[in-house]
Amino acid sequence: MLLSYDHGIIQIASDVLGEIAKRRILDKKRNETFEISVFLDKFLGKYHHTKEEKFLFPFAVKSDPSLVPDVDALISDHRRMEKLLSDSVSISKAEGAEADLYAICSEIAELSASHINKEERRVYPLIEAHLSSEEDHEIYNECKEFTDRNFGYDYLRNSESFAMIMQSVVLGPNYMKTDMSKYVKISMPGSDNSA
What would the x/- binding string for Fe ion be over residues 20 to 59, using CB under 5 A?
--------------------------------x-------
Per-residue burial over 83-113, b if 16 or more Cβ lie within 10 Å, else e, is ebbebbbebbeeeeeeeebbebbbbbbebbe
Shortest Å, Cβ 33 to Fe ion: 22
User: Pattern of binders to Fe ion over 110-129, x per CB under 5 A?
Assistant: ---------x----------
DSSP for 63-98, please give it. Answer: H-GGGHHHHHHHHHHHHHHHHHHHHHHHHHHSS--H
Of 32 and 136, the one with the shorter C-beta distance to Fe ion is 136
φ and ψ of 173, to 5 deg: -70, -20
By beta-carbon proximity to Fe ion, the closer residue of 53 and 135 is: 53
- Cβ-based nearer residue to Fe ion, 22 or 62: 62
The residues of the shown chain that bind Fe ion, judged by CB under 5 A, are 52, 119
